[in-house]
């Protein structure tokens, strides 16, 4: 009511005030990941090693990427469980693989040449 977005229930009048109002819901302008947005907007800077030292590490962006990956893993797992289906997921991060899976198969060897699978 103070910001003028709601009307009072009764006939009472609200005092006229100058209110600084910030919406409590933030709507994303894009569905892209932070990494994809940076690659699109500032590719040369983003791929330069100094950018990682000066920007990504101080802002702990790697943690943000990890949080996105964990969120994606939760969505995948929920979908698999609700659909009562089996999924074969190739994941190079062992922590993510163990979160997603009932069983993990680890391959060791040379890609495209020779590999040994262990369960």
Mean pLDDT for the stretch of residues 12-24: 68
How confident is the model at residue 24, as a pLDDT? Answer: 59
Q: Which residues contact 30 (CB under 8 A, 6 or more apart)?
A: 37
How confident is the model at residue 43, as a pLDDT? Answer: 92
How confident is the model at residue 23, as a pLDDT? Answer: 60
* Structure tokens, 104: 């993990």
Mean pLDDT for the stretch of residues 49-71: 80
Mean pLDDT for the stretch of residues 40-49: 91
Higher model confidence: residue 97 or residue 20?
97
User: To the nearest 10°, the Cα dihedral for 73, 76, 81, 85?
Assistant: -130
How confident is the model at residue 44, as a pLDDT? Answer: 92
Picking from 12-16, 20-24, 81-85, which range would have the lowest pLDDT averaged per residue? 20-24
For the chain, how long is the longest CA-to-CA vector? 80
User: What is the pTM for the complete model shown?
Assistant: 0.44
Looking at the chain, the whole-number percentage of residues with pLDDT higher than 90 is 6
* Structure tokens, 52: 């990682």
- Range 69-72, long-range pairs (CB < 8 A, 24+ positions): 69/93, 69/96, 70/96, 70/99
């Amino acid at each position: 009511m103070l910001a003028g977005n709601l009307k009072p229930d009764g006939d009472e009048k609200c005092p006229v005030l100058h209110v600084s109002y910030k919406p409590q819901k933030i709507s994303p302008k894009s569905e892209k990941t932070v990494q994809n947005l940076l690659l699109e907007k500032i590719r040369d800077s983003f791929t330069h090693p100094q950018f990682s030292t000066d920007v990504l590490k101080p802002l702990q962006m790697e943690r943000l990427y990890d949080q996105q990956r964990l969120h994606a893993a939760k969505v995948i797992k929920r979908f698999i469980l609700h659909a009562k289906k089996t999924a074969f997921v190739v994941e190079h991060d062992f922590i993510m693989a163990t979160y997603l899976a009932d069983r993990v198969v680890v391959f060791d060897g040379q890609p495209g040449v020779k590999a040994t699978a262990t369960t």
